[in-house]
Chains A and B, each alone.
Chain A
Amino acid sequence: MSMNREGRPTRPEEAAGPEGHTWTGNRALMLEEPLIFEMDEAEGCGIDFESFPSPSRGEGNASEASEGEGTAAAGPHPGAARLSLSPTGRGKNLLRNRPIGLPGLSEPQTVRHYTRLSRQNYAIDLGLFPLGSCTMKHNPRLCEKVARLPGFADVHPLQPVDTVQGALEVIAELGTWLVKLTGMHSVAMSPKAGAHGELCGLLAIRAALEARGDARQVVLVPESAHGTNPATAAFVGYRVESIPADDRGRVDLDALTSRLGADVAAVMITNPNTCGLFEPDMIAISEAVHAAGGLVYCDGANFNAIVGRVRPGDLGIDAMHINLHKTFSTPHGGGGPGSGPVVFSEALTPFAPLPFVEKRGDHYVLVEEETAGEHHGQSFGRMTAFHGQMGMFSRALAYILSHGADGLRQVSGDAVLNANYILRSLDGVLDAPFGASGPCMHEALFSDKGFAEGLTTLDLAKGLIDEGYHPMTMYFPLVVHGAMLVEPTETESKATLDQFIGALRSVAERAKAGDQSLKAAPVHAPRRRLDETQAARRPVLVWQPPKQAEAAE
């Protein structure tokens, strides 16, 4: 018989190779990549430019330059002469006198640099991203396609309104959906993200209270609220007071009502709250706040858990922001800007910000400062230059219209089902401090109770990286020790959840058993455990060129 004798082994052979170091620093096909500035080559460039004349040859004034036109190849660069870019000319202050500091690289080097960096990233398009309270869910490609259509992708906010009627209709139509889904009265589309929406809501509340000559001083914020809430209240000039949670992880209704009084401007409540729990006393809270002359702000960041099922307007809420980048699945977290429209009750509508879109007959108009006086003169004013995040509006409306009202209802149902599947699958493995008080909403909360001495939530999170998962939110909310907040979102399948649960169970069992090797995690990541203390004490935020050794003369 004929034989190939090239000697290629086809089975793995026994080998006790040393772990770790390679000559390049690369880990197999995961390549170690320096900063782009460290790759700088003085003469490196992707494109050939005609060399720019040296300033000493470019002397002259505008009249000389015009005389010299047509003979540019022999004389100074005509553009340089017209600008008088010479050490003595009029534009001398504009002449660059030092290197611009951009790295010089060829095109293939640049392409490889960014492609290598992108491989070190983790993204929703790579896998489950269980970051609780910061919903990371699939961005449907249909929405991306719609946002890229000519007429959406290329409009300018200063175009005449007659040329952007379609874009204005998108803003108005999305606003109508948001108002109906929340059972509220009006909407401000311009806020740029969740915290900006909070600011919008509180500014409206302040404007309304000042309009009745009763500004008040205090905003009450429960412990289970988002961390931005007290910051927003302080920014608007209120004193923040904290309201404790009860042992079910909900707002302590008695503590809240007993604190209400003539100095309380508003209560800011996150519902569902940061423990992933619905606030069942919301109507009673709203009634008590209103009876005391205050207003109710709801942080609607977690609206994705209740959309299509609960209308915040029915709960007595006066203002609430909606994170389009969460509930309506526009790109989030490095993938795109946020967008935080705010819905208002009838009481707050007159104080909503400018500008906004209004339909008059078949025509959409922008109500701005020049025209607001006719019917919106009490507006607290403008908080952003233009009309909001247009690219997010087109995506969010595409998401809403492609799901329909029934589909949106299923979105929240599936999100809650997935979170509860995770919560119950970890029964007996991880401690769920509020697990006994019933189902959670869109996120499941665990504590580090039962971990072996010395092992922490941080160790578990780093262990999850080795298992191929971005960690969940850690150490938040603060009301739970070593908190782990897991939000799977509705777009993950049961098979994906089962694999994640398997990984989480495995790492949690190691933490409970006192497996000290978890302290070394992540061992498979391009970077091992980072020194957070050093990063906070001595942050290096700007790349500095290495100091060149003085050349010996």
Chain B
Amino acid sequence: MTEYYTEEHEWIRVEGDLATVGITDFAQGQLGDVVFVELPEAGREVTKGGEAAVVESVKAASDVYAPVSGEVTGANQALVDDPALANTDPEGEGWFFRLRLSDTSELDGLMDAAAYKSFCDSQ
């Protein structure tokens, strides 16, 4: 299992060609209290960098982008029911959706945890 991060503050946890996607702890801190999420339906094709989900905080609505291309295999209904999970456990219970990767080589351009941390520090 490997974790990668994007410059748009999504994390992706990969096992083989299956992956789980969410927003980072840094992102939830910036967004403030999350009040609503809109998640993709299973079966939807998403493309790397394209819109995949919506997260709304009290302050603003933001798009969540797909870190890599693939087919959505499921979404986190618990997060829809209780959007606060994105704040309390963003990189665990607050995951957004699962993907079947169409091209694992797209992972190559993403950051690892250390690189992402220094990216955030520079923000």
A interface residues with partner B (beta carbon < 8 Å): 475, 478, 532-533, 536-537
Contact = CB atoms under 8 A, between A and B. Distances in A.
Interface string B36-52: 10000000000000000
Interface in B70-99: 83-84
B60 interface: yes
B14 to A, nearest CB: 30
Q: Nearest 6 CB-CB pairs, A to B?
A: A536-B35, A533-B33, A532-B58, A537-B35, A536-B58, A533-B58
B117 interface: no
Q: Which of B56, B58, B59 has the most CB of A within 10 A?
A: B58
Contacts of A532: 33, 58
B36 A536 contact: yes
A536 B83 CA distance: 11
B58 A475 contact: no
A493 to B, nearest CB: 35
11 contacts: A475-B59, A478-B60, A533-B33, A533-B58, A536-B33, A536-B35, A536-B56, A536-B58, A537-B33, A537-B35, A537-B83
Query: Is the contact region of chain A dominated by helix, strand, or loop, or is it mixed?
Result: helix
A372 to B, nearest CB: 40
Nearest to A476: B60
Contacts of A475: 59
A478 B33 CA distance: 18
A537 B59 CA distance: 13
Given A478-B60, A537-B84, 12 more contacts: A475-B59, A533-B33, A533-B35, A533-B58, A536-B33, A536-B35, A536-B36, A536-B56, A536-B58, A537-B33, A537-B35, A537-B83
Contacts of B84: 537
Interface string B15-50: 000000000000000000101100000000000000
Nearest to A533: B33
Band of interface residues on B: under 10
Interface of B: 33, 35-36, 56, 58-60, 83-84
A231 B60 CA distance: 14
A537 B81 CA distance: 10
Nearest to A536: B35
A448 to B, nearest CB: 13
Contacts of B56: 536
A536 B33 CA distance: 9
A533 B83 CA distance: 11
Contacts of A536: 33, 35-36, 56, 58
A536 B35 CA distance: 6
Nearest to B58: A532
Most chain B beta carbons < 10 A, residue from A475, A478, A537: A537
Contacts of B58: 532-533, 536
Contacts of B60: 478
Nearest to B83: A537
A339 B27 CA distance: 40
B46 to A, nearest CB: 16
A219 to B, nearest CB: 17
A475 B56 CA distance: 15
Contacts of A537: 33, 35, 83-84
A478 B36 CA distance: 20
Nearest to B82: A537
Nearest to B36: A536
A78 to B, nearest CB: 55
A397 B118 CA distance: 60
Nearest to A478: B60
A46 B56 CA distance: 46
Nearest to B33: A533
A533 B28 CA distance: 14
Nearest to B59: A475
A156 B97 CA distance: 54
A228 to B, nearest CB: 14
Contacts of B36: 536
Nearest to B32: A533
Nearest to A475: B59
Contacts of B83: 537
A450 to B, nearest CB: 20
A274 to B, nearest CB: 15
Contacts of A478: 60
Nearest to A532: B58
A461 to B, nearest CB: 14
B50 to A, nearest CB: 12
A537 B36 CA distance: 7
A475 B59 CA distance: 8
A28 B93 CA distance: 49
A532 B58 CA distance: 7
A454 to B, nearest CB: 14
A18 to B, nearest CB: 34
A238 to B, nearest CB: 15
A474 to B, nearest CB: 10
Contacts of A533: 33, 35, 58
A419 to B, nearest CB: 26
A483 B116 CA distance: 28
B108 to A, nearest CB: 27
Contacts of B59: 475
A532 B35 CA distance: 10
Instruction: Point out which of B35, B59, B83 has the most chain A C-beta atoms below 10 A from its C-beta.
Output: B35
B109 to A, nearest CB: 22
Contacts of B35: 533, 536-537
A478 B61 CA distance: 12
A264 B59 CA distance: 31
B31 to A, nearest CB: 12
A537 B80 CA distance: 11
A36 B83 CA distance: 33
A475 B31 CA distance: 13
A478 B35 CA distance: 19
Nearest to B60: A478
A478 B30 CA distance: 14
